[in-house]
Amino acid sequence: MEKLPNQTDSQDLMHIRHTIQSMEMPVDSFSDKIMNRLEEKNRRSSKTKRMKKTLVAVSTAAALGAGIIGSGFVSPAMAESLENIPLVSNVFKLAGDLGLRTAHEKGLITEGNQSDTQDGITISVPQVMYDGTRVSMAIHRKAPGLTSYLNGSHVNTDGEVILEPEGAKGTIQRVDLFMNGKPLTHLTEFAHQINVGWGPGVNKDSAVLSFSDLSNQGLGDPAFPEQFDLTMKLTLEGVNDPFTINVPVKKSTNNNIVLSPGMTKEFDHIRVTLEKAELTPITTRVSIVEDGTSSEIPKKYKRDDKTTILQLGYDVFDDHGTRLELLGGQGNDERPERYTYNDFIYEPFKVTPKSFTIKPFLYVYKDKNENHSEPVKEYIKELEMTIPVAK
């Protein structure tokens, strides 16, 4: 089974260049330079074997939290304000994406103090958020004398992402998750496993970990229940034994808007179908199925002639033209018909819209010399979909 192009990871590189951090994929590029940087950046992320790796769930706001607060690049006024804020209990408020900040403001998070200590280092989970679409956990490390960033990277004052050296003690190496005692990650080759992503917190000793279920992957996997017991086994570089923390998880939102329009658009022998959209106060989740099986599809949509996977990205806009920030996603092409099932996570709409629009795009280079130009989005109007929202 071929590897699904890492759409969300590659958009991450684009926002590193343009702002600080987020994700999508440049088309017709896939240059060694881009791929090498992405692979290096995500070298510690959990890998799937059969399920294709397409996940990292870090927002621009989270990167700003690590880059500005965590780096010490803080104005005197901000420093004075931060002195009065307990950082451990405000990771979502200070370093989360728009949805996590909203969850904190509306009291839609669970506070806790579950922890474990190994080798003189204590890991705790002070905050948990679950809205039915994604689970996010604030991770805090108490490690006197350690200078490494728990997340494995940080943003310096020039806006550059700096990776910790390979093997830097105290950085996240691996995360194993168990729901009600049953494993969700690092399963056998033929099992479907959850992808876990982690990103910066408010300082070097914090991180935000996120994951979603596989219910939108077309493989029959169930959605997460509204309440469950989660066990996290977190392995740090340089520490022999994993940190084991049990976390009760409960859905914090009611009346999520779930749409199943089954809307399909066709162009250039491509079929794109919106299977499902779920709107919560914290997250916008969109499930899109791509049919890239036609041999007549133009080359610009694929990285080679053998694949059925399309190099499309998707922007979501509200009814006033405001674009939602993409946070992450996952996907697979395992079904017999070889369609690609994409499950994307975006920030929430600030106000429930009357409708929203999904705009597929390609990344293209205007300059033939890829090393000296930035790819730009080329929207494909023929594949756009506008979906009404009934309140």
Q: Do 263 and 355 share a domain, yes or no?
A: yes
167 shares its domain with 263: no
Amino acid identity at 321: G
Tokens found for residue 350 = 């600030």
Among 188, 217, 250, the domain-final residue is 250
Are 210 and 284 contained in the same domain? no
What is the model's pLDDT at position 368?
65
Residue 369 binned pLDDT confidence (cut-offs 50, 70, 90): low
* SS3 per-residue string spanning 320-378: CCCECCEEEEEEECCCCCCCEEEEEEECCCCCCCCEEEEEEEEEECCCCCHHHCCCEEE
User: Could you report the per-residue pLDDT of 187-221, keeping only the tens digit for each?
Assistant: 655 567 788 999 888 899 999 999 999 998 888 88
Q: What is the pLDDT of residue 221?
A: 87
From CA 95, how far away is CA 66, in angstroms rounded? 7
310 and 203, same domain (yes or no): no
Mean pLDDT in residue range 375-389: 96
289 and 160 in a single domain? The answer is no
What local confidence, expressed as pLDDT, does residue 332 receive?
A: 84
- Buried b / exposed e across 72-93, counting CB within 10 Å, b at 16+? eeeeeeeeeeeeeeebbbbbbb
Q: Is residue 153 part of a domain?
A: yes
Give the pairing of strands 153-155 and 355-364: unpaired
Does residue 29 form part of some domain?
Answer: no
More confident residue, 82 or 117: 117
Within this chain, do residues 233 and 181 fall inside the same structural domain, yes or no?
A: yes
φ, ψ (nearest 5 deg) of residue 305: -75, -15
Average pLDDT over residues 221-229: 94
* pLDDT surpasses 80 at 376: yes
Together in a domain, 240 and 264: no
pLDDT, one tens digit per residue, over 130-141 is 999 999 999 999
Residue 331 half-sphere exposure, CB side, CA atoms within 13 Å? 30
Domain end point (choices 227, 250, 273): 250
Structural domain range at position 347: 257-388
Judged against a pLDDT cut of 60, whether residue 171 lies above it is answered with yes
Residues 265 and 220 in one domain: no
Provide the mean pLDDT of the chain: 80
Tell me: pLDDT of 156 over 80.
Answer: yes
Residues 73 and 209 in one domain: yes
Residue, of 244 and 75, whose pLDDT is higher: 244
Q: Model-level pTM?
A: 0.78
Same domain, 243 and 95: yes
Cα dihedral sign, 277-279-280-285: positive
Residue 4 within a domain? no
Cα 29 from Cα 47, distance rounded (Å): 23
Apex CA 204: angle with CA 198 and CA 206, to 5°? 50
pLDDT band at 35 (very low <50, low <70, confident <90, very high): very low
Res 188: pLDDT: 58
* Residue 71 CB neighbours (<10 A): 16
User: What is the pLDDT averaged over residues 237-247?
Assistant: 97
For residue 287, the model assigns a pLDDT of 97
Q: Which of 216, 250, 284 is the last residue of a domain?
A: 250
In a domain, 89, yes or no: yes
| Res. 29: pLDDT tops 50 | no
Above pLDDT 70, what percent of the chain?
A: 74
| 219 domain-assigned | yes
Q: How does residue 13 score in pLDDT terms, banded at 50, 70 and 90?
A: very low
Domain co-membership, 285 together with 235: no
Please tell me which residue, 16 or 331, carries the higher pLDDT value.
Answer: 331
**Residue range 296-340, pLDDT digits in tens:** 999 999 988 888 989 999 999 999 999 999 998 888 888 888 899
Specify the range with the lowest mean pLDDT, choosing from 40-49, 95-104, 195-204, 210-219.
40-49
In a domain, 36, yes or no: no
Same domain, 77 and 215: yes
- In total, how many domains does the chain have? 2
> Which amino acid is present at 59?
S
Q: Is there a domain that residue 24 lies in? A: no
Q: Within a domain: residue 341?
A: yes
CATH number at residue 276: 2.60.40.1640
